[in-house]
Structure 1
Amino acid sequence: MRGPGYIHLHVHSAFSLLEGALQLETILKLAAADAQPAIGIADTGNLFGALEFSEKATKKGIQPLIGVELPFDFAAAEERVSERGHVAWTGKSSVVLMAQSEEGFANLSGLVSRAYLEGEDGLARVKLDWLSREGLAGVICLSGGPEGAIDMAFAQGQDANAIRRLDRLAELFDDRLYIELQRHGRPQEAVVEPRLIDYAYRKGIPLVAANEPFFKTAKEFEAHDALLAIAGGTVLAQTERRKLNDQYYFKTRAEMIELFADLPEALDSTIEIAQRIAFRPRTRGPILPKFAAGSHDTEDAVVAAEALALREMAETGLNARLATTGIAPGKTEAEYRERLAFELSIIEKMKFPGYFLIVADFIQWSKAHGIPVGPGRGSGAGSLVAYATTITDLDPLRYNLLFERFLNPERVSMPDFDIDFCQDRREEVIDYVQKKYGAEQVAQIITFGTLQARAVLRDVGRVLQMPYGQVDRICKLVPANPADPWSIERTMKEVPQFKQMADEDETVGQLVEIAQALEGLFRHASTHAAGIVIGDRPLQKLLPLYRDPRSEMPVTQYNLKWVEPAGLVKFDFLGLKTLTTIRYAVEMVANRGINLDIDAIPIEDAATYKLYARGDTYGIFQFESAGMRRALMELKPDRIEDLIAMNALYRPGPMDNIPSFINRKHGTEEVSYPHPALSTVLDETYGIIVYQEQVMQIAQLLSGYSLGEADMLRRAMGKKIKAEMDAQRVRFREGSGPQGVSETLADEIFDLLAKFANYGFNKSHAAAYAWVSYQTAYLKEHFPHEFYAASMTLDMAQTDKLSDFRREAGKKGIEVVPPCVNRSEVVFSVKEDRIHYGLSAVKGVGRAMAEHIVEVRGNEPFKDLGDFARRVDPRVLNKRTLETLVNAGAFDGLVPRREVAFAAVESVIGTAQALTSERNEGQWNMFASAEPEPFRLPSGVPAWSSTERADRELAAIGFHLSAHPLDAYADLFEKLRVQRWSDFERAVKDGAGAGRLAGTISGRNDRRTRKGTPMMILSLSDQSGTFECIAFSEQINEFGAILQPGNSVILEVGADERAEGISLRLVSAKPIEGMAERVDRQMTVFMADAKALEPTSAQLKRGGNGTVSFVVIRDGGAREYELELPGKYQLTAEVAGGIKALDGVMDVRFA
């Protein structure tokens, strides 16, 4: 064939979300294989891939043609003139727009942005009244194809509407309008094509042939059909759904030439359009707002003004830092001045003063407004300029941190400060930035969720209408590892059972085949968790924008990888929960009249290091895992450098060096160095390479690299590119020779550096986070009440964490008391050396309701339930939530018997509603008695047993707080030598391998071992904490019936101490109630009134091994008389709970 013959203009990539099944790389491979000189993408409603496609196509020598299939809202304009009395159905209502020039791309980008920013429900839609000839200059229009606005109108017999639409497009685009023809063998194409050709010939508008591929080859149609069903929430068996056919594949030029042999002019138009397009999106250098004050005409003037502003800020800031915190040990003021001058010279040379000023500005604003900011994150903590301008709070000379690790003069790239903010107030900082630079100049960054193995298997299973249980079993065979997600291909190779199911079951095989074809495609767009871009002009002029329906803030249409090449600079605004925890704790400490400056606490506090040394680091940032706690107990850190090193070492790879690090610290292993000259670099870490910065310093010291060159060496080692590594090895040898290092030793050190460069940690980051950790540990050691209350507030949604914090607090003698409408605050609080449970932490009680209760309570506690009913707003409360509060114990102070308060809930709501109604209707009687009508509690309410009370509290709070089902068996456990979990945990650490425990089962997870035999993981609790126990097939067969959630059991267990914690395996199990009935027990019932004797006796059941005594107490507290009942009785927790709930009974005790 002569010339290209045909060029694709309407290809859908994977950025046509849940519609296109062609990755950009696949499109370009197909084009290259067919020697196509140009190719055009037109994704549905977006330009997500415009820059990426432009760059990748150009590198392959293919001309990129950038378009978009954009819905036009023709129907809204036609409602007044719709045919046959109804509004025309418009299908996708799309046309294809292509950027012909730079002006055209700007117009196209602006139109797509407006379609999202002013659209509804996150859908892009263009209103016709937005359009003008001027606003569409440089844009080529294709009429849209079978699913477009024109073809659909013709197909529906609405020729007048179709012609009106074409006329409107002709007015707008003039000679840049083309009538698009597609031939996929669909019935409507044969109906519509003659009408399109007729209109084109009558109006003199050119025809253009199009393929509109969505997938690679015809055999992938089935998978693509499943993708459309996933997108539409339908199933493949449904007939009334969007469905294409197998001809929507990527056709070759020859196939298209043959298909349109009768209309060569339509083929020629594809080439004409490609020739008319003289633009592609290109990368840009970084664009930042001009920060320095004043008006400056040239870029050089702006850079000079910003450089001067930064220099003045840094020098003033350094003076303030040195006056406040002093000079680091072993350093001189001259070293600080020299370092500052060096850094400023590099920053100015690279033209980054403006970046530093922008970051310093919003951080300084945050600190001035009381918003906690992290001391640093990542390599930015290595900059003295950042420290001087308060961007960071870590002295890099004090910790020997390197500026070149952050900003390398040998490699021009944007600096990247990742900033941690208090998570509750992060949005305030972003709001400030929007107001300062203009909302139209600030945006979030888009991200794309993909169809990963498990998710796509579930989606395809649904559209195939396979049984849920079967699909669930298949999905669970794909290992779940977020850090290293498994693909379906890998699962087929490495999980034999998965492959066997696919091979043996035809439906499962179909499921796997389709899912594998769709795996990795984009599923949805969302926003980057932290990334914000700031421009020097409205961002629509730099790139297209998107709007996430869940946010009012604009979002870039290019993702994180491509937003910076587009010229935008990313700033990371991260929310760090630990900073919020610290803030809450400091605020609570202030309630005691102590003004604690958490940033000025002593770094040599011995008590804080002892906390680390005893492994008391649950809840301590970065140091709370079981394995880390054990390592700390062996290390016994006594300086901040130890914490920095452990933070860096406790990771896969480096943790292999932890034993040597510990032994060398304690002198039980000799400290050695790869070369004596390296002692100055490695002395701090006992001769072990721990940090990336040490790799750089060794290269500098031993081989004469500059620190910038050493950073390039570190990067090369990390990438493991052989040619680059070989060249660096030669350079390293040559540089080491003058230092008296042999080639053999140089190679050994080079290989050692390469190993550590690969997994060594960034010391700047480790140091910053070690300081945050130290702050939390300081609070825990010196202000434990406030630390636990703050920690529990931040983990209110995690019941397990709350239970653990409560247990930890209990070990320190700190009581966590149940929620109370008269004492609790919205969140956890400290009063009278006790932690009060937060009302909003009760399950199902929203923050709004908790805030309402606290607000109406004010400084006047509720007197009784009636007072509560009269003061609350019934619109905020509901029956279920009030019942939950009763079950949690929040009304115990008003009504001691929870069952009575529970029965009164409807009356409370009724009273509140009646009073509100009277107030609203103006029926409030000002002459009524000042004393409200008494609120009457219901009588004759059956008592809850202690078990029911505990179960209800468990459901409301998530763990047993005021009482535990095992409380009634303390005497039994003493007789049977049952250990508390906390005591047994310590015993195992001291070498015990077996024991007897009691626990209430809260969960049971039935699984199978790799061999396919049954196994079970039980979740249990006692008064001292929660634990898990594994049962295998033999124990399941024998004891499975009693191992049910809610049951309390006595367990014989075996135990092993492992890296992740203590592992328990079940040996035997017995129900507690059965054991209680067989053991001799003495129950004493204390009464305030002898009238309780008769109802108490009625609760007792004869036939057990227990004896019962009644003690009647006088008003003054003395015993009036004591009576021992004859006979033996069945004494269980159920019986004791029923008796304790009776009127006149004060307490029930076992002995």
Structure 2
Amino acid sequence: GARPLSELVPLYRDPKSDMPVTQFNMKWVEPAGLVKFDFLGLKTLTVLDVAVKLLKQRDVDVDLATLPIDDAPSYQMLARGDVVGVFQVESQGMRRALIDMRPDRFEDIIALVALYRPGPMANIPTYCARKHGDEESEYLHPILEPILKETFGVIIYQEQVMQIAQQMAGYSLGQADLLRRAMGKKIRAEMDKQRDIFVAGAMKNGVAKGQAETIFELLAKFADYGFNKSHAAAYALVSYHTAYMKAHYPVEFLAASMTLELNNTDKLSEFRSEAQRLGIKVEAPNINRSGATFEVSDNTIYYALAALKGVGIQAVEQIIEERNRKGVFTSLADFAARVSPRAVNKRIIESLAAAGAFDTLEPNRARVFAGADAILAACQRSHEAATSGQNDMFGGAADAPSIMLPQIEPWLPADRLRREYDAIGFFLSGHPLDDYATALKRLRVQSWAEFSRAVKTGATAGKVAATVVSRMERRTKTGNKMGIMGLSDPTGHFEAVLFSEGLAQYRDVLEPGAAVLLQLGAELQGEDVRARVLHAEPLDHAAAKTQKGLRIFVRDTKPLDSIARRLNMPEAAPAPGGPAKAPAVKPAAAPPPAAGADGDVSLVMMLDLETEVEMKLPGRYKVSPQIAGAIKAVAGVVDVQTL
């Protein structure tokens, strides 16, 4: 305001803020004497800023304000629809519009931002057809051509309405703005008045009365959804900047995007999948390398410790501050001795362990997870000793005694991944279905991504394998129960519903953590694929029908005991006198808990690069991709082949 606000409008002070506000609405503040501004806070601007700072770490200076706006790789990327993370154009509909438009100039992006809204989006096919020469551009009068040439004769912007009124009907720019407002508000009396002024002015410039009236009606119709070009251009510039950064610096751009979505696991999973598609490695959390936010080095993104569930930013900052001060942690005992007990608790230790953050200090995540209390106790003892000065007697915290972790077996691959999912929010180091790759090919199963693409081209059903990550049940309006399943496969997360009969029939099969084979029905609602479960069965049962046995490759006898346990057999006795002797194992008398069909198992002893000895174990064993994956994870097992 030109004077103190209290002299112009009544003010109110929100008790939660120091900012005075007026209760006049936006239409009344201007007549009262205020100037109104709209400030839009865009997270994307911070993403760009973070990406620029990450680039500075490798001495690359990028000034967004001076980027060329005719960069061919950026437009080529947009034209391919590679738009994950690109501002304003990430939606499936925008992606399709970009592929159709094949933008090659900044004006195309401005036009798309303005057109992609209810109403004007009907003009997108016309714009694209005229842009590519499949349709002639049309102008109702020669005066319109220079104004509408940029948009191939399609009226897109409010500024074009004002220019037409100015150049065809002799309006001043101020009068043209009043015309634009009148059209937008549809005040009948004002519109009739403006029609007379417009037609009279156009006739003075040699336009026939009928043609002038037709053009006025066209402008009036457009004004229902006209967009401000200056607004569209500002958004288009931010969109272009993100496209440029992704096209030229994808590692830093995706790391910055992930940092700004620190607590949104769905978006983090999407960005991680995009990084994989682009050949960018996303390293698991590492207590000695990861930062609080996502960091980069070469072609690698290091997963942020603060993105883990239950691990707050304050705890992470204290851990990193200690690491920066005295160097990397050399052991769990060193970690416990140096980190304040106020910075960590049991849940933080468990989350870090489940996500693999301690793998470089202790590769057996199960031991660290189970030893969380012991680590915290050592942390507390070290802190108490430091405060009482005892550390000086024993040479400092670095000489802290080792921590006695429980002696327990490592988690099986499926359990390890499930706990990783709990800590991270998606499967990072692998997927529970990875062990089923051969069986899924034999079963002719589609991935979720393939199924989605098929539905978008008209398919209504398909066969998909997935891991159940969640199940929610609720009642419909009719009182019947329905289930909403959260599902995951290596290509993404998705949901599927099943109604009361299916829920009753498959409830036991669709338990969280289960690997399942699903027959899905689907329909397209807007841009989303809505799936429903038609049939479900345990994936192990389906895979067993295609699997006849296993070949297990080893170099010596050390892993035989663990292999025997995973085959649910009595422990194998180490063979004295050399590795070539067959292990003394028998088929399990009782069926193992893991599902699977009976099959043959062979041990292949790899004596050297050219010599292998294959020994078929007597009897038949339960075999499944899950059992094969568990055996493959045993230290000393070189490979496992399914037959």
Q: TM-score range by the shorter chain?
A: 0.7 to 0.9
CA distance in 2, matches of 1:771, 1:861: 42
- Give the distance between the partners of 2:518 and 2:293, measured in 1 at CA: 37
CA change 1:614–1:1007 in 2 (3 A) is farther
Q: Which amino acid aligns with 1:809?
A: A
| Cα distance, 1:1096 vs structure 2 | 2.3
Give yes or no for contact 2:540–2:626 (8 Å, CA) kept in 1. no
Conserved? CA contact 1:819–1:839, under 8 Å: yes
> Greater CA deviation, 994-1003 or 770-779?
994-1003
Query: TM-score, with normalisation over the residues of structure 2?
Result: 0.88
Name 2:510's counterpart in structure 1. 1043
- How far apart, in 2, do the equivalents of 1:1085 and 1:846 lie? 43
1:469-494 deviations in whole A, cap 9, x for unaligned? xxxxxxxxxxxxxxxxxxxxxxxxxx
The 1:1005–1:933 alpha-carbon spacing in structure 2 relative to 1, beyond 3 Å, is closer
Q: Tell me the equivalent position of 2:585.
A: none
Query: Partner of 1:584: helix, strand, or coil?
Result: helix
Is 1:813 the counterpart of 2:279 in the alignment? yes
Corresponding residue for residue 851 of structure 1:
317
SS state of the match for residue 602, structure 1?
coil
Hey, what does 2:119 align to over in structure 1? 653
Quote the residue 2:51 is aligned against: 585
Matching residue of 2:577: none
**CA distance in 2: counterparts of 1:748 and 1:848, whole angstroms:** 65
Is the 1:1080–1:1105 Cα contact (8 Å) retained in structure 2? no
Tell me the CA shift for residue 682 of structure 1.
0.8
Q: Output one character per residue of 1:894-951: Cα deviation in whole Å (capped at 9) or x when no partner.
A: 1111101111211111111111111112223346489724414424324423222222
Q: SS in structure 2 opposite 1:575?
A: coil
Is 1:899 paired with 2:366?
yes
| Alpha-carbon shift at residue 1060 of structure 1 (Å) | 0.7
Query: Helix, strand or coil for the counterpart of 2:224?
Result: helix
Which residue of 668, 672, 678 corresponds with 2:144?
678
Q: Counterpart in 1 of 2:418?
A: 951
CA distance in structure 1 between the partners assigned to 2:640 and 2:223 by the alignment: 66
Contact 1:543 1:556 in 2 (8 A): no
Closer, same or farther: CA 936–1016 of 1 in aligned 2, 3 Å:
closer
Separation (CA, whole Å) in 2 of partners of 1:812 and 1:1021 = 21
Partner of 1:842: 308
- Displacement of 1:619 after TM fit? 1.2
AA in 2 matched with 1:869: A
**1:864, distance to aligned residue in structure 2 (A):** 1.4
Q: What TM-score results when the alignment is normalised by the length of structure 1?
A: 0.50
Counterpart selection for 1:1096 from 540, 560, 563: 563
In structure 2, relative to structure 1, the CA distance for the partners of 1:669 and 1:1064 (3 Å cut) is farther
Match for residue 171 of structure 2?
A: 705
Which residue of the partner structure matches residue 352 of structure 2? 885
1:1047 positional shift: 2.4
CA distance in 1, matches of 2:142, 2:398: 89
Q: 1:563 to 1:962 in 2, by over 3 A?
A: same
Q: 2:399 corresponds to which residue?
A: 932
Aligned in 2, Cα 1:1081/1:902: closer, same or farther, shift over 3 Å? Answer: farther
Q: Describe the shift of the 1:543–1:931 C-alpha distance in structure 2 as closer, same or farther (beyond 3 A).
A: closer
Q: Distance in 2 between matches of 1:727 and 1:543?
A: 34
Q: Does 1:287 align with 2:37?
A: no
Q: Which residue of 2 aligns with 1:1109?
A: 602
Q: Deviations over 1:779-836 (max 9, x none)?
A: 1111111111111111112111111111111111112121111111111111231111
Quickly say closer, same or farther: Cα 1:554–1:1053, change in 2 above 3 A: closer
The one-letter code matched in structure 2 to 1:968 is D
Contact in 1 for aligned 2:334/2:400 (Cα 8 Å): no
Query: Which residue matches 1:166?
Result: none
Q: Tell me the distance in 1 between the aligned counterparts of 2:280 and 2:611.
A: 33
Contact 1:945 1:1135 in 2 (8 A): no
**Structure 1 counterpart of 2:468, from 997, 1001, 1019:** 1001
| Residue 866, structure 1, aligned to residue 333, structure 2 | yes
Contact in 2 for aligned 1:627/1:1061 (Cα 8 Å): no
Q: Flag the structure with larger Rg.
A: 1
Give the aligned partner of residue 1073 of structure 1: 540
Cα 1:676–1:543 change in 2 (3 A) is closer
Aligned equivalents of 1:1089, 1:862: Cα separation in 2 = 34
Secondary structure of 1:925 counterpart: helix
Cα offset for 1:1019? 3.2
Aligned counterparts of 1:770 and 1:1071: Cα–Cα separation in 2: 48
Contact 2:628 2:642 in 1 (8 A): no
- Contact in 1 for aligned 2:440/2:543 (Cα 8 Å): no
Of 719, 734, 740 in structure 1, the residue corresponding to residue 206 of structure 2 is 740
**Which amino acid is the alignment partner of residue 999 of structure 1?**
A
Q: Secondary structure at the match of 1:961?
A: coil
Q: Residue 21 of structure 2 aligns with which residue?
A: 556
Are the counterparts in 1 of residues 337 and 398 from structure 2 also a CA contact under 8 Å? no
Q: Work out whether 1:973 is the aligned partner of 2:440.
A: yes
Name the amino acid aligned to 2:193.
A
Map Cα deviations across residues 979-1027 of structure 1 (whole Å, 9 max, x no partner): 3333444555666665322111234455788888776553321112223
Decide whether the 8 Å contact of 1:545 with 1:554 is kept in 2.
no
Match of 2:89 among 606, 623, 635: 623
Query: Is contact 1:793-1:828 (8 Å) kept?
Result: yes
| Aligned 1:1013-1092 pairs, distance under 5 A | 1017-1031=484-498, 1035-1036=502-503, 1038-1054=505-521, 1059-1087=526-554, 1090-1092=557-559
Q: Residue deviations 1:740-773, cap 9 Å, x none?
A: 3333332222221112112111100101111110
CA distance in 1, matches of 2:315, 2:610: 45
Conserved? CA contact 1:1017–1:1030, under 8 Å:
yes
Indicate the residue corresponding to 1:109 in structure 2: none
1:1124 and 2:621 equivalent?
no
| Equivalent AA in structure 2 for residue 920 of structure 1 | T
Higher mean alpha-carbon deviation, 999-1008 vs 880-889, is at 999-1008
In 2, Cα distance between equivalents of 1:816 and 1:672: 51
User: Which has the higher mean CA deviation after the structures are superposed, 945-954 or 697-706?
Assistant: 945-954
Q: Verify the 8 A CA contact 1:998 1:1049 in the aligned structure 2.
A: yes
Note the residue ranges of structure 2 that are not aligned, 5 or more in a row: 569-587, 592-596
1:761 aligns with 2:227: yes
Query: What is the correspondence of 1:311-350 to structure 2 with a 5 Å cutoff?
Result: none
**Percent of aligned pairs sharing the same letter:** 49
The answer as to whether partners of 1:1076 and 1:1131 remain within 8 angstroms in 2 is no
CA distance in 1, matches of 2:546, 2:563: 22
Q: Deviations over 1:859-905 (max 9, x none)?
A: 72211111111111111111111111111111112111110111121
Cα deviations by residue, 1:575-595 (Å, 9 ceiling, x for unpaired): 311111001111112222211
Distance 1:1057 1:1107 in 2: 45
SS in 2 for 1:1028: strand
Tell me how many residue pairs correspond in the alignment.
Answer: 615
> What amino acid does structure 2 have at the position aligned with 1:797?
N
The amino acid across from 2:327 in the alignment is E
8 Å contact from structure 2 (residues 547, 624) kept in 1: no
CA RMSD of aligned residues (A): 2.9
Which residues of 2 match residues 136-151 of structure 1 at below 5 A? none
Q: Paired residue for 1:403?
A: none
Q: Secondary structure at the match of 1:1105?
A: strand
Distance (whole Å) between structure 2 residues aligned to residue 985 and residue 598 of structure 1: 36
Match of 1:694 in 2: 160
Show the counterpart of 2:572.
Answer: none
Distance 1:1122 1:757, change over 3 A: same
Contact kept, 8 Å, 2:462 with 2:521, in 1: the verdict is yes
Q: Distance in 1 between matches of 2:406 and 2:610?
A: 30
Residue 391 of structure 2 aligns to a residue whose secondary structure is: coil
Give yes or no for the alignment of 1:919 onto 2:412: no
Pick closer, same or farther for the CA change 1:903–1:1149 going to 2, 3 Å: farther
Pairs within 5 Å for 1:522-561: 535=4, 546-551=12-17, 553-561=18-26
- Within 5 A, what are the aligned runs for 1:236-247? none
